Protein backbone atom coordinates (compact mmCIF):
# COMPACT_ATOMS: atom_id res chain seq x y z
CA UNK A 1 0.00 0.00 0.00
CA UNK A 2 2.74 2.47 0.91
CA UNK A 3 4.46 1.98 -2.48
CA UNK A 4 1.34 3.43 -4.11
CA UNK A 5 1.45 6.51 -1.90
CA UNK A 6 5.15 7.34 -1.91
CA UNK A 7 6.81 8.66 -5.08
CA UNK A 8 9.73 6.66 -6.53
CA UNK A 9 13.16 7.52 -5.11
CA UNK A 10 14.32 9.66 -8.08
CA UNK A 11 11.26 11.90 -7.68
CA UNK A 12 11.70 12.13 -3.90
CA UNK A 13 15.30 13.24 -4.44
CA UNK A 14 14.05 15.65 -7.10
CA UNK A 15 11.75 17.23 -4.51
CA UNK A 16 14.91 18.07 -2.57
CA UNK A 17 16.65 19.44 -5.66
CA UNK A 18 18.92 16.41 -6.14
CA UNK A 19 19.10 14.59 -9.48
CA UNK A 20 19.32 10.84 -8.88
CA UNK A 21 17.83 9.21 -11.96
CA UNK A 22 19.05 5.80 -13.14
CA UNK A 23 21.88 6.02 -15.66
CA UNK A 24 20.94 5.80 -19.33
CA UNK A 25 22.50 6.40 -22.72
CA UNK A 26 21.58 9.12 -25.17
CA UNK A 27 20.87 12.37 -23.36
CA UNK A 28 19.58 15.32 -25.37
CA UNK A 29 20.03 18.81 -23.87
CA UNK A 30 18.47 22.09 -25.01
CA UNK A 31 19.26 25.57 -23.68
CA UNK A 32 16.88 28.51 -23.94
CA UNK A 33 18.18 31.61 -22.12
CA UNK A 34 18.63 30.66 -18.46
CA UNK A 35 16.64 27.39 -18.84
CA UNK A 36 18.23 24.02 -19.59
CA UNK A 37 16.10 20.98 -20.48
CA UNK A 38 17.45 17.43 -20.67
CA UNK A 39 15.76 14.30 -22.05
CA UNK A 40 17.42 11.17 -20.70
CA UNK A 41 17.34 7.85 -22.60
CA UNK A 42 15.86 6.83 -25.95
CA UNK A 43 12.96 6.59 -25.79
CA UNK A 44 12.81 9.37 -23.19
CA UNK A 45 12.47 8.00 -19.65
CA UNK A 46 13.27 11.15 -17.65
CA UNK A 47 12.95 14.84 -18.47
CA UNK A 48 14.68 17.49 -16.33
CA UNK A 49 14.30 21.27 -16.33
CA UNK A 50 16.83 23.56 -14.68
CA UNK A 51 16.58 27.33 -14.32
CA UNK A 52 20.09 28.69 -13.85
CA UNK A 53 21.64 26.24 -11.35
CA UNK A 54 18.39 25.01 -9.77
CA UNK A 55 16.39 21.89 -10.61
CA UNK A 56 12.82 23.09 -11.21
CA UNK A 57 11.06 20.05 -12.66
CA UNK A 58 11.68 16.32 -13.00
CA UNK A 59 9.33 14.15 -15.05
CA UNK A 60 9.08 10.36 -15.48
CA UNK A 61 8.08 9.60 -19.05
CA UNK A 62 6.83 6.36 -20.61
CA UNK A 63 5.68 5.92 -24.18
CA UNK A 64 5.97 9.65 -24.81
CA UNK A 65 3.57 10.47 -21.96
CA UNK A 66 4.42 12.12 -18.65
CA UNK A 67 3.39 9.62 -15.95
CA UNK A 68 4.47 11.59 -12.89
CA UNK A 69 6.45 14.67 -12.04
CA UNK A 70 7.81 16.85 -9.26
CA UNK A 71 8.11 20.62 -9.58
CA UNK A 72 10.03 22.98 -7.31
CA UNK A 73 8.65 26.52 -7.31
CA UNK A 74 10.70 29.65 -6.48
CA UNK A 75 8.43 30.41 -3.49
CA UNK A 76 9.55 27.23 -1.59
CA UNK A 77 6.60 25.09 -2.68
CA UNK A 78 7.08 21.59 -4.10
CA UNK A 79 4.39 19.63 -5.92
CA UNK A 80 4.44 15.93 -6.80
CA UNK A 81 1.77 14.65 -9.20
CA UNK A 82 1.02 11.17 -10.52
CA UNK A 83 -1.01 11.81 -13.65
CA UNK A 84 -2.61 8.41 -14.26
CA UNK A 85 -3.88 7.91 -10.71
CA UNK A 86 -4.45 11.66 -10.16
CA UNK A 87 -2.52 11.65 -6.89
CA UNK A 88 -0.92 14.87 -5.75
CA UNK A 89 1.29 15.88 -2.84
CA UNK A 90 2.04 19.54 -2.04
CA UNK A 91 4.87 20.50 0.28
CA UNK A 92 5.92 23.89 1.60
CA UNK A 93 9.49 24.37 2.77
CA UNK A 94 9.40 26.52 5.89
CA UNK A 95 13.07 26.36 6.84
CA UNK A 96 16.35 25.25 5.35
CA UNK A 97 19.41 24.57 7.50
CA UNK A 98 22.96 23.79 6.43
CA UNK A 99 24.15 20.37 7.56
CA UNK A 100 27.52 18.70 7.76
CA UNK A 101 28.56 16.51 4.84
CA UNK A 102 26.87 13.16 4.34
CA UNK A 103 28.68 9.92 3.59
CA UNK A 104 28.82 9.80 -0.26
CA UNK A 105 27.49 6.20 -0.20
CA UNK A 106 23.97 7.44 0.68
CA UNK A 107 23.58 8.87 -2.84
CA UNK A 108 23.98 5.45 -4.49
CA UNK A 109 20.75 4.12 -5.94
CA UNK A 110 19.83 0.51 -5.20
Please write the tens of the pLDDT for every residue from 45-67: 999 999 999 999 999 999 999 99
What is the spatial distance between Cα 22 and Cα 15, in angstroms, rounded to a whole number? Answer: 16
- Residue 107 in any domain: the answer is no
Cβ(45)–Cβ(62) below 8 Å: yes
Low-confidence residues of the chain, pLDDT below 70? 1-4, 109-110
- Residue 61 in any domain: the answer is yes
Task: Write 64-69 long-range contacts (CB < 8 A, 24+).
Answer: 68/7, 68/8, 68/11, 69/11
- Residue 50 in any domain: the answer is yes
49 Cβ contact list (under 8 Å, min separation 6): 35, 36, 37, 55, 56, 57, 58
pTM reported for the whole predicted model: 0.83
Per-residue model confidence (pLDDT) at position 86: 87
- Residue 58 in any domain: the answer is yes
- Residue 102 in any domain: the answer is no
Tally the domains of the chain. 1
Amino acid sequence: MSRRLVPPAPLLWGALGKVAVPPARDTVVRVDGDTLRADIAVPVAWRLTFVRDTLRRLERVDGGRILEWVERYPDARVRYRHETSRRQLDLTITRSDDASAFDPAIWDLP
